[in-house]
């Protein structure tokens, strides 16, 4: 009963704050104490329930000074740890995987706290959404700049935590049917936001334009050591450490861990079970495809340094590892599935673009063309003619279906499918299908 009364008093304080049009003094401790005294709030969800977004927007428009005072008073309540910069944050990486073999215990409350902090970071990083492309180039995002720079000494454990949380997530778990209906999955929201944060941070390269492709042309350490200090001093450029760390991944076991994570999550919507809706479905496929593209772009062996001449000197790079692995088809099939599913939806043209870019990247490689000769025996639910053939036939059929639809309906995907077909010609793929 007391807990209910406390929440009621908190709600009354919110109403008072949103209805007063005159500025409330910061010295009025009796008023502000209502928000963090005996409120009975159990977590962030209670705050979201008792403080509707509409009232916050109205407060921003009608009494912005009161909203600013509320924010300042809330920040004053934060407890600052003793010397946070002295903490060895590498001991607190969230999950095992790349660069971290220890498996920390999975605590739901910790995941919830991490989720709220990552959402706050995403909000801070959203400045670029409100700028034009030219303005964004001239005014780098200061939040992302600091978060991914050497000024943030926790950049490496943060990057490792985000990467391992995403690639180590298994939505099916032990494979029990309907388990997602019986038990709450506290890890899935964290995975989605962590993936979004990775995509956002990797999309900002703060190096000079002539050095944007240096990570793919050699080792990141070599690219950073040649004149990096002079450029930063003269032009104020600073390297994005997240891109640096991504380009430095080279161990085969790390590539295997990351690739398994991609294939597991991308193929999740394609899994068919005897019991309808008995398996959990994830919906972060577009962010996964963007992250896969970023990883292939930043972590690759250049054409002039391809094996066998320079493989040992440059180490194993992700794109080469994917191409030599049989799991490359586990990337192809879900990519084609999502392309086929989004071809008629103009609002999902971004998904079509990134899917086509990935196909163009892979189709220019000989090893990919060889892998396409494997017979296609899966039963993926796609709106295409029934055929008997190879994965090359599947690729061509989905491409033709996308092209025919874009030409007939004059969708926004027109032109994209034609580029896809041009890429297929470059890969020397020969159809061997038998349509029924």
CA–CA–CA angle 337, 298, 263 (5° rounding)? 30
Span 203-232, mean pLDDT?
A: 49
Residues 6+ apart with CB under 8 A from 24: 17, 31, 32, 66, 69
Q: Name which of 121-130, 153-162, 281-290, 406-415 the model is least confident about.
A: 406-415
Q: pLDDT tier at 157 (50, 70, 90 boundaries)? A: very high
Instruction: Name which residue leads in pLDDT, 12 or 111.
Output: 111
d(CA 300, CA 294): 10
Element (H, E) at 261: helix 252-266
**pLDDT tens by residue, 51-103:** 888 888 888 888 888 889 888 888 888 777 666 666 777 788 899 889 888 88
Report residue 273: phi and psi, to 5°: -120, 160
Binning pLDDT at 50, 70 and 90, where does residue 214 land?
very low
Between residues 207 and 407, which one has the greater pLDDT?
Answer: 207
Q: What percent of the chain has pLDDT over 90?
A: 21
- pTM for the model stands at 0.78
pLDDT higher than 80, residue 154 = yes
The pLDDT confidence band at residue 225, using thresholds 50, 70 and 90, is: very low
Q: How far apart are CA 366 and CA 347, in angstroms?
A: 34
Average pLDDT in the 293-316 region?
A: 61
**Inter-axis angle of helices 328-342 and 349-363, nearest 10:** 150
Mean of the per-residue pLDDT values for the chain? 77
Half-sphere exposure of 298 (CA within 13 A, CB side): 23
- Residue 211, pLDDT above cutoff 90: no
pLDDT at position 259? 94
φ and ψ of 434, to 5 deg = -130, 105
Phi/psi of residue 207, each to 5°? -80, 165
Instruction: Extract the tokens encoding 61.
Output: 């428009």
Q: Give the alpha-carbon dihedral of 70, 72, 77, 82, to 10 degrees.
A: 160
Q: Read off the pLDDT of each residue in 176-201 and give the average, rounded to a whole number.
A: 80
- Per mean pLDDT, which range of 277-281, 293-297, 359-363 is the poorest? 277-281
pLDDT number for residue 419:
53
pLDDT at site 100: 84
């Amino acid at each position: 009963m007391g807990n209910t009364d406390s929440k009621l008093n908190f709600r009354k304080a919110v109403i008072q704050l949103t209805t007063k049009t005159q500025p409330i003094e910061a010295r009025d401790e009796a008023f502000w104490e209502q928000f963090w005294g005996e409120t009975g709030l159990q977590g962030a969800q209670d705050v979201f329930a008792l403080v509707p977004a509409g009232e916050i927007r109205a407060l921003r428009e009608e009494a912005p000074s009161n909203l600013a005072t509320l924010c300042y008073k809330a920040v004053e309540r934060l407890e600052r740890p003793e010397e946070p910069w002295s903490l060895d944050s590498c001991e607190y990486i969230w999950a095992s995987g790349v660069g971290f073999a220890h498996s920390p215990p999975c605590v739901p409350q910790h995941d919830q706290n991490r989720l709220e902090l990552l959402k706050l970071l995403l909000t801070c990083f959203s400045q670029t959404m409100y700028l034009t492309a030219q303005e964004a180039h001239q005014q780098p995002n200061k939040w992302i700049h600091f978060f991914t720079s050497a000024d943030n000494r926790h950049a490496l454990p943060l990057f490792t935590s985000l990467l391992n949380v995403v690639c180590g997530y298994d939505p099916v778990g032990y494979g029990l049917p309907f388990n997602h209906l019986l038990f709450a999955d506290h890890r899935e929201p964290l995975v989605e936001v962590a993936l979004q944060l990775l995509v956002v941070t990797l999309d900002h390269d703060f190096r000079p334009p002539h050095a944007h492709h240096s990570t793919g042309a050699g080792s990141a350490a070599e690219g950073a050591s040649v004149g990096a200090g002079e450029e930063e001093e003269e032009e104020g450029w600073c390297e994005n450490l997240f891109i640096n760390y991504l380009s430095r991944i080279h161990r085969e076991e790390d590539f295997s861990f990351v690739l398994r994570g991609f294939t597991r999550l991308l193929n999740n919507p394609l899994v068919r079970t005897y019991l309808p809706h008995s398996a959990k479905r994830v919906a972060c496929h577009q962010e996964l495809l963007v992250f896969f593209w970023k990883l292939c772009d930043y972590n690759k062996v250049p054409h002039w340094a391809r094996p066998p001449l320079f493989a040992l000197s440059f180490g194993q790079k992700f794109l080469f590892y994917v191409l030599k692995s049989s799991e490359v088809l586990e990337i192809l099939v879900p990519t084609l599935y999502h392309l086929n599913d989004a071809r008629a939806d103009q609002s999902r043209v971004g998904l079509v673009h990134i899917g086509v870019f990935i196909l163009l990247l892979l189709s220019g490689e000989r090893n990919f063309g060889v892998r396409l000769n494997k017979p296609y025996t899966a039963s993926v639910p796609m709106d295409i003619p029934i055929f008997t053939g190879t994965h090359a036939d599947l690729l061509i059929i989905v491409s033709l279906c996308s092209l025919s639809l874009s030409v007939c309906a004059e969708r926004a995907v027109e032109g994209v499918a034609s580029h896809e077909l041009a890429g297929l010609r470059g890969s020397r793929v020969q159809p061997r299908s038998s349509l029924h």
